[in-house]
Amino acid sequence: MGRAFKVVVLGGGTAAGYAASEFVKLGVHHGDLCIISEESVAPYERPALSKGYLLIEGAAWLPAFHTCVGTGEERHMTKWYKDNGIELVLGTQVKAADVRARTLLTAAGETISYKFLVIATGARVLKLEEFGVTGADAHNVCYLRDVQDAAHLVDQMAACRKVEGKAVVIGGGYIGMECAAALHGNHIPVTMVFPEHHCMARLFTPEIAAFYETYYGKKGVHFIKGNVMASFEQDEFGKVTTVVLKDGRKIAVDLVVVGIGIHPNVDLFEGQLAMEKGGIRVDGKMRSVSNHSVYAVGDVAAFPLKMYDDVRRLEHVDHARKSAAHAVQAIMSSNEVGDYDYLPYFYSRVFTLSWQFYGENVGECILFGDHSASKFGAFWVHKGQLVGAFLEGGSKAEYAALARAARQRPTVDDTRLLAMEGMGFAMALTEPVPPRVSLMSSIATADGHLFLTRPPSWAIQVGAGVAVGVAFVSLAFWYGRRKKRR
């Protein structure tokens, strides 16, 4: 028993939703496309889980954030897939794949064959059990990766509030920082524990991190840095009551939220496809270098980062959206599509703060702006070129200028002058006219999630629908351009 399709998208996350949207735009025939997902709901905007689902007031729950609302497009619920002739196979696990035979075997025993496979399986959270922590499967130990995780965390936050309890967040990265803000918004005292010497250590310098740690501290969030948890203590009902740290300290707790990283879901393809940096090695078309009937997008793709002449694997929604669209364009009209030319981009919003980063954080970091006014930034200069740019509290035009600067990588002769000029340096750069506009401009870089803790000061405010649309259109223009000025 089995079915056959021209294209199968394996995975039902953000990338799958944007792939489906791009297929429809490019005229996929009814019955040609199948999406297989372990989740029981249609693809949705995963960042909304930490930015909207966890809010105590005005929370955003499904169906509010199905793709593709993150870029101001139509919300695609199950009916949209049916109306466009897309077979949406939900709640289904694929237990085996044979890329030579071009088949997938589901846990129910069905064989699904394809001409092209798009692997959009994303990643799974790293769990404490994998590190030998006993008691880590307790019901009040929470993770955040999918909508089921979010629903469970909401329930546990309610239970914690009921007893006026406290929470500990394990991890100081994206999930840790955003969940800590959400817990505070739910009126739950929070302690953050992480091994690094400052938060967001993979991206922030100590000076940048200090601003956010101070801000969180004023909100009442407590930081324990340079330390890790060693074990849990539990009550007779199996509930975690104490977090024991490596240095012996104990923290009484009613809720634990863990954000210690993710692992790409590539197990099905180990030994079948070329791997690199933990992901599936693809070319500039997002096509497996070892099997041209297979494409990989989002978290699982190790792709050539053209502007840096390097191979990277990036874990971010912006890359998931754009790599999915690029793979679809390559499948549908490969002769018309160039190589994926991605500019690394990251962002976050917590409390009333919002920042964006473009490029690379290598070399010397040059700070500018006014921390006390909650509007400051940084440039990274490497071998005489500006290679990265960060800004807290910027406007639409300023973020666009930062992206332009990071892509052009202009020469910097005097870093002291750069610090004095600050945003003026980036705003003064003009953009060269490209030989052609990439199809990738159909997906904007701007943050398009519709769910905020509180309206921030910058112009890409996703609670205001009209402003969002303007932001996406304007930013889409510059992001698609491929030619970079040095």
C-alpha 262/C-alpha 55 separation (Å) is 23
User: What is the identity of the amino acid at 303?
Assistant: F
Low-confidence ranges of the chain (pLDDT < 70): 1, 431-486
Helix, strand, coil shares of the chain, percent, nearest 5, are 30, 30, 40
Q: What is the pLDDT of residue 1?
A: 64
Comparing C-alpha atoms, which of 417, 415, 396, 399 is closest to residue 407? Answer: 399
Question: Does the CA dihedral 107-111-117-118 come out positive or negative?
Answer: negative
Classified as helix, coil or strand, 357 is: strand
Q: What is the pLDDT of residue 446?
A: 44
- The DSSP element (H or E) to which 156 belongs, if any, is helix 147-162
Strands (DSSP E) found in 313-394: 345-350, 353-359, 364-370, 375-382, 385-392
Q: What is the pLDDT of residue 435?
A: 46
Name the token pair of 22. Answer: 């791009």
Tell me if 117 sits within 8 A of 21, measured CB to CB: no
Comparing C-alpha atoms, which of 161, 104, 471 is closest to residue 294? Answer: 104
Distance of CA 123 to the CA centre of its chain: 11
Name the token pair of 317. Answer: 């929604």
Comparing C-alpha atoms, which of 117, 115, 113 is closest to residue 104? Answer: 113
C-alpha 365/C-alpha 66 separation (Å) is 38
Query: From its phi and psi, is residue 274 left (phi > 0), alpha (psi between -120 and 50) or beta?
Result: beta
Classified as helix, coil or strand, 450 is: coil
- Omega into 47 within 30° of 0, i.e. cis? no
Q: What is the pLDDT of residue 339?
A: 96
C-alpha 79/C-alpha 469 separation (Å) is 24
C-alpha 225/C-alpha 351 separation (Å) is 21
Tell me if 92 sits within 8 A of 106, measured CB to CB: yes
Q: Find all residues with CB under 8 Å of 57, minimum gap 6, and list them.
A: none
Provide the total of helices (H) and of strands (E) in the chain, helices listed first. Answer: 11, 26
Give pLDDT tens digits for 48-64.
999 999 999 889 999 99
Tell me if 8 sits within 8 A of 28, measured CB to CB: no
Name the token pair of 476. Answer: 């889409």
Tell me if 415 sits within 8 A of 382, measured CB to CB: no
C-alpha 152/C-alpha 140 separation (Å) is 9
Classified as helix, coil or strand, 464 is: coil
Comparing C-alpha atoms, which of 408, 401, 471, 404 is closest to residue 443? Answer: 471
Which residue bears the tokens 């948890």?
229
Tell me if 215 sits within 8 A of 376, measured CB to CB: no
C-alpha 400/C-alpha 483 separation (Å) is 16
Comparing C-alpha atoms, which of 419, 429, 406 is closest to residue 369? Answer: 419
Q: Model-level pTM?
A: 0.88
